[in-house]
Structure 1
C-alpha cells in the first residue's frame, strides 16, 4: 500500500491573529510531503510512526461526533499490517507535519468524505475545517483545522474569519530578485506552550488592543498586497509587521534570533516574521533582494518558498 502525497503548508500571514478571528493566508509548500505506506518490517521511524498511529486510531475510535465517521475496521487492519506515515515534513517546525498526517487519514478512512473534486462551497470548506480541527486536536490540544485543510486541498486558502474561508488565487511566481524564504532556527518549537503564552498575554488589555488594531491591520494589509501583487507596498507593510512582532511576541522568537530580527529591520536586507506558533522551527523571511539576504544571513540555512 502507498497512499497519495500530502504536502506541508506555510501560513504566510495570520499566525496568532487567526485564533482571534483576523485574516490569514496559507499556501501549500511542496518541498516537504508525506504519505501512508506499509512495511512488513517496522523499525526505527516507521515503528514509532505506527505506534503513534495506533494512539491516533484509539483517539478517533473514541470520538463521538455527528460530523464524521471512519472505517475503523480497515484502519486497524492496515495498522496491524504495518502501516506508517512516511514523511519528510520536519516536526515542530511550523510547516504542518500533523496536518498532512490528518489529511491522509481522512482521505483514506473517512466515510462519505468531501472530495477535492467537488464544488467546494463555503459550507463544505467549513465542514472540512471542523472535522480536521476535531482530528488534529489529538496532536495540539486545540487546533483550528487549517493545516490539514491546506494539505488536503493543496490550494492556497484565504481565512477572512473563522466562519469565512475560501480558496485563493495567488499571483504566479516571477523570476525576480524578491523572495519569501524560510530561515532554519535549528531548534524544535512546540505549539502548545507558545499558545499558552499567547493566551496569558491576551488577559492584558493593552496586548488585546495591539492585536485587534496594529497587528490585525498590518496583517490584513500584507495579505491584500500579496494577493494583488503590490510588491512595493507589501514590503513596507511586512517591515511594519516585523517590528510589531518583535516588540510584542518576543517570547515566541528564539533568543538567538532577536538581534538577527533587528538587523533585518535596520538594514532593510530582509524582514522576519513568525512561521506558525514560533518558539523554534522555521522563521519566515521576506526580502526584495534574495542574494542580499543570503549574504546577510550567510551563517544560517535558508530555503526558498516563493519568488517575486
Structure 2
C-alpha cells in the first residue's frame, strides 16, 4: 500500500459508558482522513506536523511495546529527517479521532509485523487495542486504544466490554431513505481531558454511579442491539431515553449552543441528540426518522449526514 488513507471514526454509542464496561459501536467516517506524506513545500502546517512527529518519536523511543508489536523507529526518524508529516483534514477536538488516525498511520507504516485488517482474529484485535492504547496515551494521558484501532481497521467495531472488541456488520446506508444519522457542528472545540475529569468527579457520587449503570448503560446497549438488528421502533424508544438521560446528567458536556435544540428534539420527537465522543464542543450526533423535518428545525446549524436508513 502506498500512502494508505486513514479515516476518522465516529462513536455512535458508548461515550463514557465504555469506561464503565458498557457496549460501544463505532464506525469509520471517510469524509475526514489523514495520510503520512513527505513535504515538498515546507509550509507552516507541514513544518509543525513534522516537529510534532519528532516529539512523538522521542516518546516512542522510551516506550516498551509487547513482543511482536515493535516499530521500526530508525526508519521513522530517518523519514522525519526527510520531511515526513501527517497530511490530515480531521478536525482536532471534535471527537472524530484525529490522534487515532495518526497513530494508525504510523503503526501501519512502521510496524515490523504486518497485519491484514480483514483477517485479524478477535484475540489479535484485543492485543492490538492494548498496543494502540500505549501508542495513543502520548496524546490523551491515557487511552483505551479504541480510536486508533477503528482508524486502523477501517471497519465498524462492536466494543463488547472493556476488554473485548469484535468486527461487526452494520445495516447498509440507503441514500433514498428519510431517516438519518447526522452530525451537528457545535461551533467550538472540545477538550477530552477536562470532560473526562468531570465524568470521574460525577462517578464519586453513588447516585450518579447507580443511574449510569442501571439506566444509561441499559439504554445504550439496547440502542446498539436494535440498530444492528435494524429494529427501528425499539431503537428510537431507547434513543429517546438515552437523550433525556444525557440532558439531565451530562449537561456540563453539552455545549451551550446546543442546550435548546437538544431539548427541542426531545419535546418534539422530531430528532434526538447525543454526545459524539467526550463532548464539551466538537460534533453532536443527531438521529431522526425524517431528516427533512429535522433539518428545518435545526436551521442555522452546520450539519453533515453520515448514514441513511
**TM-score range for the pair, normalised by the shorter chain length:** over 0.9
Which structure 1 residue ranges, 5 or more long, are not aligned?
Answer: none
Residue in structure 2 matched with residue 14 of structure 1 by the alignment: 14
- How big is the alpha-carbon RMSD for the aligned residues of Structure 1 and Structure 2? 1.2
1:123 to 2:123 alignment: yes
Residue in structure 1 matched with residue 219 of structure 2 by the alignment: 218
Contact 1:106 1:113 in 2 (8 A): no
Residue in structure 2 matched with residue 233 of structure 1 by the alignment: 234
What TM-score results when the alignment is normalised by the length of structure 2? 0.97
| Runs of 4+ in structure 1 over 6 Å off | none
1:139-218 matches, within 5 Å, as: 139-174=139-174, 175-218=176-219
Deviations 1:8-60 (CA, angstroms, capped at 9, x unpaired): 00000000000111100000011111000001332221111111111111111
CA distance in 2, matches of 1:254, 1:201: 18
Which structure 2 residue ranges, 5 or more long, are not aligned?
Answer: none
Residue in structure 1 matched with residue 95 of structure 2 by the alignment: 94
Residue in structure 2 matched with residue 279 of structure 1 by the alignment: 280
* Partner SS for 1:107: helix
CA distance in 2, matches of 1:236, 1:6: 34
What TM-score results when the alignment is normalised by the length of structure 1? 0.97
Residue in structure 2 matched with residue 41 of structure 1 by the alignment: 41
CA distance in 1, matches of 2:302, 2:41: 35
Residue in structure 2 matched with residue 267 of structure 1 by the alignment: 268
Residue in structure 1 matched with residue 75 of structure 2 by the alignment: 74
* Partner SS for 2:160: strand
* Structure 1 residue 83: Cα displacement: 0.6
* Structure 1 residue 66: Cα displacement: 2.4
CA 86–2 in structure 1, closer or farther in 2 if over 3 Å, else same: farther
* Structure 1 residue 115: Cα displacement: 2.9
CA distance in 1, matches of 2:295, 2:227: 22
Residue in structure 2 matched with residue 84 of structure 1 by the alignment: 85
CA distance in 2, matches of 1:196, 1:293: 33
Deviations 1:260-283 (CA, angstroms, capped at 9, x unpaired): 110110111210000000000000
* Structure 1 residue 2: Cα displacement: 5.9
